[in-house]
Amino acid sequence: MPADSSRSQQHLKAINRALASGTYTQVRQLINNLPGAEAAHLIESSPPREREILWQLLSKEQETEVLQYLGEEVRVELLRNLSTDELVSLVEELDTDDLADLLQELPDHVTSQVMASLDEQNRERLEHVMSYPVDTAGGLMNTDVITVRPEITFEVVQRYLRLRGDIPRTTDNLAVVNRKNQFIGLLPLTKVLISDPGTTVREAMITDIQSIPATLPAHDVAKIFERHDLVTAPVIDDEGMLVGRITIDDVVDVIMEEADHSLMSMAGLDDDEDTFGSVWQTARRRALWLGINLLTALAASAVIGLFEATLEKVVALAILMPIVASMGGIAGSQTLTLVIRAMALGQIQSNNTRYLLFKELSVGAINGLLWATVIGITAGLWFSDVSIGIVISVAMVINLIMAACAGALLPMIMKKMGIDPALAGSVVLTTITDIVGFMAFLGLATVLYANLLV
Amino acid sequence: MPADSSRSQQHLKAINRALASGTYTQVRQLINNLPGAEAAHLIESSPPREREILWQLLSKEQETEVLQYLGEEVRVELLRNLSTDELVSLVEELDTDDLADLLQELPDHVTSQVMASLDEQNRERLEHVMSYPVDTAGGLMNTDVITVRPEITFEVVQRYLRLRGDIPRTTDNLAVVNRKNQFIGLLPLTKVLISDPGTTVREAMITDIQSIPATLPAHDVAKIFERHDLVTAPVIDDEGMLVGRITIDDVVDVIMEEADHSLMSMAGLDDDEDTFGSVWQTARRRALWLGINLLTALAASAVIGLFEATLEKVVALAILMPIVASMGGIAGSQTLTLVIRAMALGQIQSNNTRYLLFKELSVGAINGLLWATVIGITAGLWFSDVSIGIVISVAMVINLIMAACAGALLPMIMKKMGIDPALAGSVVLTTITDIVGFMAFLGLATVLYANLLV
C-alpha cells in the first residue's frame, strides 16, 4: 500500500474540485477520512473563506486531530469563533503537551473551565507541564512515561506490560525509577524482548544516558536529540525526579520552527505568518517593518544630501552611486547569514571569532579588489573619465571590507545585547552599507573633483 | 546523570585551552572520549589549523564515528589528505547508508577498493543503496531491517529475536514479508511484548501503513515522516519488495538541510558552506554571486542614465531616488520569502494562487499608499516642492505593487522553469524593484518637470 504523496495530492485535488462545485457532503466525507496532519495542511493551504467552510465540515473527532497539527496563528483564528463549551469539549481530547500549548493561547476563563473538566490525575499532569515555559524541555514533554523499579525481573516487566495492554506511541524505553520516583536509568524495550526472563531491570538498564532537565531550553533539547540520534528522552526536575519524556516528533517541530525563524525574521516576517491570512491582518503586520526601512532609507538620502553640490556638478555620480551601496549590501548579507546560521548551530565560540573575522575581512578585501577593478574600468570607459573609475574602485573596496566587518560583528554584538540578530541584523547591516557606500563614493568624489574643478 | 549542553560546553573549553597551550596528549584524551557527534561539531567549529590538529589526534575508532557527523564539505577536505589504504580501513566501519553517501564523494579508485574489501552480503547491500540517487528514499535507507513471516507466532518471533541477540538501533517495528520478500505489513515490537505468545504475526500486523517507494524524493519522505509522526518506515522497490528502512535520524538531517537551503541560497551561499573554511576557497565561491549582482546594479545604473538630463536639472531627485528602489526591494523580499517557504511546505496549489496573489497585491497597495503619503509629505517639506512629493508618492505605490507581484509570481514561474527560486529569486526580484523604482520615479519626474520647467 504505497501511500506516497501522490495519493494525498489526489485527495486534495478531489476536495478542491468538490469545494469549488459546492458539493459539501462529498467534501465532508473526504476531509474527515484524511489523516489529521493532512487535513490540517489542507486547511492551512486554503484562502479564508474555504478555510472556514472546511473547518465547519470537520467531525468532532477530526477537529481534535486537526487541531494538533495546525500552526499557532491559524489555530487561534479558528478557535476564536467557538463558544467556551465547544472549546472545552474539543480540547479535552488532546495530549498533555499539546493541550498545555493550546491553553496558553486561549483566554483565561476558557483555561480554567478546561482545567475544571479534567480528572485529578490529568489536571495535575497538565498543571505540571504548564508550570514550565513552552520553549523548555518541561513545556515540550509528555507525561505518558511508563516506569519500572530496578529490582523486578523481565518476566514481571512483561506481565506488567501485558496487563497494561497499551504502550504509548513512540515508546522505545521504559524509565527506571527508585521509590522516591528519582530517575536512575532507561530500559530499552528491545532488551526485554531478547533477554532471559530472569534478568532483572537493574542488570540490563542503561545508566549512561541523556536525561534532560525540565528547564533546559527547547533549542538545547533539539541539539541533544540530533547529536545522539535519540527517539525519546526522559525529563527530570531539579531533584532528579522523573517528570515526563520528550519524543522525537515534538523535537522535529522545534527544529523546523527554529529553521523557519532565521529565514522569516531576516525578511521581517513573523515565524508563524499565515500564508493565506487576511489582507488587513497581513498589511498591519508588515507596515512596521516597511516603516523602519523607510527611516533607514531616509538616513541614506540625508547622507547623499550632504553632497548635493558635488552631484550638481557631476551627474555621473548620481548614476553610479547605487552600485557601491548595493554591492556592500549583498556582500554583507552573505557574511551576516553565515554568522547567524553558525550561531544557531552553536559553532561560534570565543576562540574562533578571531579567525572568522579575519577570514571574512580577507574575503571582503579580495572580492572588493576584484570587482573594484571591473567596475573601475567599466565606469571609466562609460563616462570617459579616469577619475570616476578610481573613485568608484576605492569606494567599492572600502564598502566591501566594511560590509564584511559589519556582517560578522553585528550578530555577535546584538546577541550580547539581547537583540535577535536574525530580525534586526539585516536592517542595521544595509543601513551601514548604504551610508558607508554613499559616504565613501560621494566623499572621495567631492575631494577629487574639488581639486580637479578648481 | 544530567548530561545537558553545559557539560559539553565545558569539554569544549577544556579542549580549546589544551589546544592553545599545545598540550596535545590532553587534547587527544579529551577528544577521543567525546561522543562522535560532539567531536565532529568541535572539528567543524575550528579554524583550519586547529581542525587539522584535532583530526590527527583522533583514534581510529573515533575517526569512523566522527566521519558520520561531519558536514560534506569538511569531510571531503579532511579525507582528501588520506592514502587509499587509510581510507579503506576507515570507511569499512560505517553504516550502509553513510558509506554509500561517502563513497559518492570519493574518487572512483577508492570506491572500487572499498567495494572489493567488503564481504558479499554487504557489497550487495551497498550496491543496492548506491543504485538510488542520494536524495531519494533509496539513498536514505539502511538495509538493517529485521523481517518475519506472517504465519509464525509471537513465541517464535521472540525466540528468533533472542537467538539473534541484537536488534539494530531505532527499531520500533519488524517488517512482515511473504516468501517472495514482498512487503505486506509491520509488526510493532510493543505488540510482541504485550500480546499472548500464541498470537500469529498475521493477526497482529498493521497493514494500513506508509511504505515508501525507493524512488520517492527525500523531500517527500520527510513530509510523510512529519505528517504521520513516524520513527521508521519500510522502503519497497517497484515490485513491492522490501529493500530497506528509513530511520527518523536521517530524516531529521534531510529536514535540517532543506531548511538551511532556503536561508543560505537566498544569500547566494552554498548550503554546505564551511563557516571556518579557508579564505581563498570562500572568496572564489562568493565572487560569482557578487559578479552577478554587479551586473544587475549596472543595469539599474543604465536606467538612471536614461534620465541624466532630468537629474542635471533637479538634483533633489538624485538624493531621493534610492528610497523608492529600496522600499520595493524590502516589500518584495517579504512576499518572496513567504512564497518560497509556502512552496517548500507544499502549501501552494493551483486553487489558492489566485487568492495569494490578490492578498499580496492588496497588501502592497495598502502599505504603498500608507508610506507613499508619509514619504510624499516628508519629501515635499524637505525640498519645499510639492511636485517632488507627488512624484515620489506615486512611484512608491507603483513599485510596492510591482514588488508584491514579482515576489509572488517569480518563485512559481522559476519553479516551472526548473530554476531554484531560493537561489535566483532575490537577484531577479531586486533587479526588477530597482529598475521599476528608478524608472517610475525618474520617469514621472521627467514628465512633470518637463511641463513645469518649459
Considering only CA atoms, which of B328, B362, B291 is closest in space to residue B431? Answer: B328
What would the pLDDT profile of A230-246 be if each residue is shown by its tens digit?
A: 999 999 999 999 999 99
| B-chain residue closest to A164, CA distance | B194
User: Which residue of B208, B211, B231 is in closest CB contact with A231?
Assistant: B231
| A-chain residue closest to B359, CA distance | A279
Query: Tell me, what's the pLDDT at B176?
Result: 95
What would the pLDDT profile of A320-377 be if each residue is shown by its tens digit?
A: 999 999 999 999 999 999 999 888 888 888 778 889 999 999 999 999 999 999 999 9
| B-chain residue closest to A170, CA distance | B231
For chain B, the helix, strand and coil percentages under 3-state DSSP, each to the nearest 5 = 70, 5, 25
Query: Tell me, what's the pLDDT at B4?
Result: 43
Residue with cell 493565506: A276
How far apart are the C-alpha atoms of B80 and B337, rounded to whole Å?
37
How far apart are the C-alpha atoms of B231 and B189, rounded to whole Å?
13
What would the pLDDT profile of A423-453 be if each residue is shown by its tens digit?
A: 889 999 999 999 999 999 999 999 988 876 6
> Residue B186 in 3-state DSSP?
strand
User: Which residue of A259, A280, A297 is in closest CB contact with B322?
Assistant: A297
Provide the terminal-to-terminal Cα distance of chain B, rounded to the nearest Å.
85
Q: Where are the alpha helices (DSSP H) in A70-119?
A: 72-79, 84-91, 96-103, 108-117
Q: Are B248 and B229 in contact (CB under 8 A)?
A: no
How far apart are the C-alpha atoms of A406 and A328, rounded to whole Å?
10
Query: Tell me, what's the pLDDT at A3?
Result: 41
Could you tell me what percent of chain A has a pLDDT over 90? 47
Q: Residue B88: how many CB atoms within 10 A of its CB?
A: 17
CB contact under 8 A, B351 and A16: yes
> Residue B410 in 3-state DSSP?
helix
What is the residue-averaged pLDDT of chain A? Answer: 87
Query: Tell me, what's the pLDDT at A88?
Result: 76
- Gap from A427 CA to chain B (nearest CA, Å): 10
Whether pLDDT at A454 is above 80? no
Alpha carbon separation from A17 to A21, A39, B346 (Å, rounded)? 6, 15, 18
How far apart are the C-alpha atoms of B164 and B102, rounded to whole Å?
29
CB contact under 8 A, A4 and B220: yes
How far apart are the C-alpha atoms of A100 and A129, rounded to whole Å?
7
What would the pLDDT profile of A370-411 be if each residue is shown by its tens digit?
A: 999 999 999 999 999 999 999 999 999 999 999 999 999 999
Highest mean pLDDT among A85-89, A117-121, A126-130, B375-379: B375-379
CB contact under 8 A, B378 and A298: yes
pLDDT category of residue A179 using cuts at 50, 70 and 90: very high
Kindly state the average pLDDT of the residues A279-301. 91
Looking at A16-25, A155-164, A413-422, which range is the least confident one? A16-25
Q: Which cell numbers hold the place of A268?
A: 521581517
Looking at per-residue confidence, does A5 or A401 come out higher?
A401
Highest mean pLDDT among A101-105, A134-138, A213-217, B29-33: A213-217
- Gap from A403 CA to chain B (nearest CA, Å): 13
Query: Tell me, what's the pLDDT at A4?
Result: 43
What would the pLDDT profile of B373-428 be if each residue is shown by its tens digit?
A: 999 999 999 999 999 999 999 999 999 999 999 999 999 999 999 999 988 899 99
User: Which residue of A224, A227, A363 is in closest CB contact with B279?
Assistant: A363
Query: Tell me, what's the pLDDT at A2?
Result: 38
Phi, psi dihedral angles at B367 (to 5 degrees) = -70, -30
Residue stretches of chain B with pLDDT short of 50: 1-5
CB contact under 8 A, B359 and A277: yes
Looking at per-residue confidence, does B87 or A188 come out higher?
A188
User: Which residue of B301, B323, B358 is in closest CB contact with A320?
Assistant: B301
Q: Could you tell me the domains of chain A?
A: 6-140 (1.25.60.10), 147-266 (3.10.580.10), 279-453 (1.10.357.20)
- Gap from B429 CA to chain A (nearest CA, Å): 13
Query: Tell me, what's the pLDDT at A397?
Result: 96
CB contact under 8 A, B216 and A4: yes
Looking at per-residue confidence, does B442 or A109 come out higher?
B442
CB contact under 8 A, B276 and A352: yes
Q: Are B36 and B51 in contact (CB under 8 A)?
A: no
For residue B285, list chain A residues with Cβ-Cβ distance below 8 A: none
Query: Tell me, what's the pLDDT at B454?
Result: 52
